[in-house]
Amino acid sequence: MKPQGVHPEGAESTSDASSRPDTADADGKDTDACVEEVHADEVESDEPLLPARVHRPSDLMRLLVGVLAVVVLLAIAAFAHGTTSGLEQDINKGTGQAPDLLIKIAGLASSIAILLVPVAFAIERLIKRDGLRIADGVLAAVLAHGVTLATDLWVAKAAPSSIQEALTQPSPGDIHALTDPVHGYLAPVIAYMTAVGMSRRPRWRAVLWIVLMLDAFSMLVTGYTTPFSIILTVLIGWTVAYGTLYAVGSPNVRPTGQTLIAGLRTVGFHPVSAAREEASETAENSDRGRRYFVTLEDGPPLDVTVVDREQQAQGFFYRVWRNLTLRGFATRSSLQSLRQALEQEALLAYAAIAAGANAPKLIATSELGPDAVMLVYEHTGGRTLESLAEEEITDELLRNTWRQVQALQSRRIAHRRLAGDAILVDRSGAVILTDLRGGEIAASTLLLRMDVAQLVTTLGLLAGAERAVASAVSILGPDAVADCLPMLQPIALTRSTRATLRKLARERAQREREAVLHASQQAKQARLEEAPEDTRPVLEKPDKKTVKAEARAEKRAIDEAIEEAREEDLLTQIRHQVLLIRPQAPVEPARLERVKPRTLISFIAGAIGAYFLLTQLTHIEFGPLVANAEWGWVAAAVLFSACSYFAAAMALLGFVPERVGFLRTVAAQVAGSFVKIVAPAAVGGVALNTRFLQRQGVRPGLAVASVGASQLFGLGCHIVMLLSFGYLTGTEKTPSLSPSRTVIAGLLTVAVLVLVVTSVPFLRKFVVTRVRSLFAGVVPRMLDVLQRPQKLVTGIGGMLLLTACFVMCLDASIRAFGQEGTSLSIASVAVVFLAGNALGSAAPTPGGVGAVEATLTVGLIAVGLPKEVAAPAVLLFRLLTLWLPVLPGWLAFNQLSRKGAL
C-alpha cells in the first residue's frame, strides 16, 4: 500500500509527504504557542477532495423502516376495524373529561409553537452558517406536503372504507364533511425538523416533543383527527425526511487530515506529515477504516487507522443479510457503535501480541469528535501477501504464516479475516497479521477451524493447493487441518475470497467452452482433409451411416476435449490433498446456514402466489359462475391440463440421450408449476429442468445443452404454429388463401428487427457471441439426438402435444361457459393461446401473471367471443394451468428435493 501525500486544499501532491511544509501565521499567540502553531500548519495532512455529501445507509434503513411502518399501519386500519373503532372510542371517552380551558390553552400554544419552533431553529442554524441543513429541511417539507396531498386524495377517492373510517371522522364544524386523513401542516413540520437534525439536539428535541404532544392532544380532544391519522402523519413526515436525506445526501462529517493531526497532538505526538495510504477498491468500500502513514518530528513513523460512522456503515445491508441467513457463530454484529469498534480492535491488538503473534503494536487511541475514532500503531511496513510475486512466496514464508495463526489459536483467538491483504511481509521476511478488528477472543472451536479453512484457501490461491496444505500440516499437524474440511465451503470464506473463486470458476467454464468449440471445428476440418478431393462435394449430402459415423466421431472428440479441459476447483483440490494425508477426515460440510436460500425462496414464493391468487379472485362472483358452468367441459379442461405435464416430460426427454426416468421427469414438470410462481415462466422452467437433469447423472454442460436444445426447438415450433394457425385464421372467412394483415405485420416486424440487429455493431456482436455459445453446446447435443430418431420424434411430438393440450384446455374452458353459437374454431383459439403464451414468457412477472390474462381476454374478444364468456373462460384456464397446480407442485418440489432429485 503506497502512502499518498496531499495538500490541505485537497489537491494531490507530487513530492514526498515529509518534505513539504505549508506556512501560516500564528495569529498573535505567545512564542511557545506560535511554535506549536507553525508546526501544526506546516504539516501536509489533508487527503484528496472528499465529497461534500454522502449517502448514509442508516438513512436508507430508516426510510425502509418508515415505509414498512406505514404499510403495517394501513393494514391494521384495513383489517382490524373493530380494534380501530374501539381505540377511538376509548380515547374520546378519556379526553372528553379534560377541562375546556386546558384544551383551549393547549390548542393555542401548540398552533403558535408548531410554526415558531422551526423558524427559531432555522435562525439559529443560519447564524452558525449551516444553511445547507435548512435547505434540506425545506426540500423535505415540500415533499412531505406533496405526499400528504396525494394520501388525502387516495383516502378520499380510492381507499377501502375501513381505512377511510380509521383515518377520518365527521368534522365538528360540518357534519357532512370529513376531517383530513393526514395533517397538511404537521407532516411538513416533522419532515423539516427531522431533516435539519433537530432531533440530535437535546433541548430542541424536548421542545419538539412537547409541541407535538400538545398539538396531538388538542386535535384529538376537539375531534379534528383520529389516533391513526396522527400516527400516519408522523410516519409520513419521518419517512419523507430520511428519504430526502438519502436522495440528496447528508453533509460529509468525515474527519480530515487536519483533524487527525490535531487528534495526534492531544495524545502527545508531534506529527510532521500524514499521508493517506492508497487502498484497493474492495478496501475502500469495506468497513476496515482509513489508514494513514504519519511521520513525526522525532522517533519512528506511525500507522494510524481512522474509523468514522460512514466507513463503519459500509456493507451494513450485506452484514444484515449474513446475520439473517447464517448461524450466530459464523457472523459478527451488523451494527456496532464507534466505541465498541474501538474497544474491540484495541482488545484484539493487545491479545494478539500477548499470544506471541506478530501484530501491529497499538500505542494510543482517541476520539476525533463525535463521529470518528483513531487507533495509533507503531509503523510495521512491508507488503501484503497477495502483492508478492510468485517466486517470492516460498515454503518458509508459508510456514511462517501458519506459525502466526498457530500463536493466535493457542490462546483461542480467531482472526476472522485471513485474506491476502490482511497479511503483511516485511523486508526481513517476517509475517505480520493485521486487520484484527473483526476477530474474537475466547473463540469457539468452529471459528478457529474457519480461520484454518480461510487461510488454506488464501494460500491455495497464491501458491496452489498442494503447497498450502503441506505447509499447514507441517505447522498445525494433520489432525487440525483435517478437522477444517467441514468448514471448507464458500459461505464460510470472506467476501473477497468468494469473489475470487467465482472469477476462477467463470474462467474455467470459458476454457471448457472454447475447448468444445475448438474440438468441434477440428473434427469437421479433419473429415474434410481425410476425404478425397473428388468426393468432397458428395459429403454435402451423405447417407445415414456416414452421418451417424461422423456424429459419433465428433461426439468422441468433444468428450475428449471436455475431459482434457475439465479442471477441479480450488476447494476440491484442497480436499483431495487433505484426504491423501487423512483418508478418514470428515468431508461433510458443516451446517452454517440458519435459513437456506431455497427455504427462503419457497416461503417468498408461497406468499407471492397467495397474494396474486387472492387479487385474481376478489373481483369474481362465484355464485353465477358455478351455476352456469357446464361441468362436463370443466372436467375435460382438467384432463387436458393434467396431460400437459406428460407432454412436457416427453418434450424434455426427447433431447436427452441418457436414460432418465419418465415418471420422475413428469414429477419435475409438476414441480415446475410451483417454480413458475417465483420467476418468469421462461426462466424458472429452464433452471429447474437443468438442475433436474444434473441430479439424474447428466453432466452439467450436457444438461444445459439438452434444455437449450429443447427450448430452441420449442421456439421454432411455437413460431411455425403461430404463423400457420394465424394464416388459417386469416383465411377462414375469405375465399382467397392470402394471409391476414396480422401475419404480414408480424413478418415485417421480425424483418425490421433482424435488420436492426445486423446493422448495429454492438447488437450484432452480442448475437454472434450468443449464437457461438449455443452452437458450441446445443449443436453437438443435437448430433447425439440425431443418432436416435425415436428420441427426436419423442421430443418434437411432446412439444406438439404440449401445445395441443393447452389449446384444448382453453377451448374446453370456453365451451364450459359459452352458449350455442359462441364457440370458436380451434385455429382461432390456438392463435390466441400462442400469442398469450409468448407474451407470458417475455413478461417479467411470475408465471406471466397479468400479461397472459390480459392478452388471452383481449384476444378472445378480438376473435369474436363475448366478454361475458371470455373473462370466466380465461379465469378457469389460468386456474387449472397456473394456480391449482401450485400445491401439488410444491409437494412434488419438496419430495424431489428430499430425494436429491432437485
| Predicted local confidence at residue 588, as pLDDT | 77
Nine-digit cell string for 777: 453446446
What contacts 374, CB < 8 A, 6 or more positions away? 260, 263, 264, 304, 305, 306, 307, 365, 366, 367, 368
What contacts 891, CB < 8 A, 6 or more positions away? none
Query: What integer best gives the mean pLDDT of the chain?
Result: 75
How confident is the model over 126-172, as pLDDT tens digits? 776 666 777 888 888 888 888 888 888 888 887 777 788 878 877 66
| Predicted confidence (pLDDT) at residue 397 exceeds the cutoff of 90 | yes
Q: What is the dihedral of CA 62, 63, 64, 70, to 10 degrees?
A: 110
Highest mean pLDDT among 367-381, 514-528, 775-789: 367-381
| Buried b / exposed e along 659-688 (16+ C-beta atoms within 10 A) | ebeeebbbbbbbbbbbbbbbbbbbebbbeb
| Predicted local confidence at residue 3, as pLDDT | 46
**CA-based R_g, the chain, Å:** 36
Note whether 346 and 86 are within 8 A (CB): no
Q: How confident is the model at residue 465 (pLDDT cuts 50, 70, 90)?
A: very high
> Smallest Cα–Cα separation from 221: which of 127, 309, 98, 323?
98
| Predicted confidence (pLDDT) at residue 460 exceeds the cutoff of 90 | yes
How confident is the model over 585-636, as pLDDT tens digits? 887 777 776 666 655 655 665 555 555 545 545 555 656 656 667 888 889 9
How confident is the model over 751-769, as pLDDT tens digits? 566 666 666 676 666 666 6
| Predicted confidence (pLDDT) at residue 22 exceeds the cutoff of 60 | no
Highest mean pLDDT among 3-7, 303-307, 562-566: 303-307
| Predicted confidence (pLDDT) at residue 398 exceeds the cutoff of 70 | yes
Q: What percentage of the chain has pLDDT greater than the value 70? A: 64
CA distance 185 to 113: 13
Query: At how many degrees (to 10) do helices 202-222 and 81-95 cross?
Result: 90
* 12: helix, strand or coil: strand
| Predicted confidence (pLDDT) at residue 335 exceeds the cutoff of 90 | no
Q: What percentage of the chain has pLDDT greater than the value 90? A: 14
| Predicted confidence (pLDDT) at residue 17 exceeds the cutoff of 60 | no
Which amino acid does the sequence have at 307?
V
To which H or E segment does residue 366 belong? strand 362-367
| Predicted local confidence at residue 544, as pLDDT | 62
User: What does DSSP say about strands 250-251 and 290-296: parallel, antiparallel, or unpaired?
Assistant: unpaired
| Predicted local confidence at residue 285, as pLDDT | 47
Nine-digit cell string for 748: 415485417
* 353: helix, strand or coil: helix
Q: How confident is the model at residue 18 (pLDDT cuts 50, 70, 90)?
A: very low
How confident is the model over 296-324, as pLDDT tens digits? 988 899 999 888 776 666 666 667 767 76
| Predicted local confidence at residue 38, as pLDDT | 34
Q: What is the dihedral of CA 387, 5, 430, 394, to 10 degrees?
A: 20
> Smallest Cα–Cα separation from 373: which of 312, 285, 301?
312
What contacts 262, CB < 8 A, 6 or more positions away? 40
DSSP state of 224: S
DSSP state of 268: T
CA distance 94 to 677: 50
Query: Alpha carbon 789 to chain centroid distance?
Result: 44
How confident is the model over 831-867, as pLDDT tens digits? 888 877 776 665 555 666 666 777 788 788 877 787 7
Instruction: Name beta bridge partners: 374.
Output: 306, 366
How confident is the model over 33-59, as pLDDT tens digits? 333 333 333 445 445 556 667 777 778
How confident is the model over 173-199, as pLDDT tens digits? 565 667 778 877 788 888 888 888 766
| Buried b / exposed e along 218-227 (16+ C-beta atoms within 10 A) | bbbbebbbbb
| Higher pLDDT, residue 636 or 116 | 636
* 793: helix, strand or coil: helix
How confident is the model over 362-378, as pLDDT tens digits? 999 988 877 788 999 99
| Higher pLDDT, residue 724 or 454 | 454
Kindly give the residue spans of alpha helices, DSSP state H, lying in 128-269: 131-157, 161-167, 186-195, 202-222, 227-248, 257-266
| pTM, full prediction | 0.57
| Predicted local confidence at residue 12, as pLDDT | 35
Angle, vertex CA 688, rays to CA 687 and CA 689, nearest 5? 95
CA distances 734 to 729, 737, 782, Å, are: 10, 7, 41
* 374: helix, strand or coil: strand
CA distance 893 to 607: 16
| Predicted local confidence at residue 805, as pLDDT | 92
| Higher pLDDT, residue 544 or 491 | 491
Q: How confident is the model at residue 6 (pLDDT cuts 50, 70, 90)?
A: very low
How confident is the model over 634-676, as pLDDT tens digits? 899 999 999 999 999 998 888 888 788 888 899 988 888 887 7
DSSP states of 405-429: HHHHHHTT-B-S---GGGEEE-TT-
Q: How confident is the model at residue 736 (pLDDT cuts 50, 70, 90)?
A: very low
CA distance 740 to 729: 8
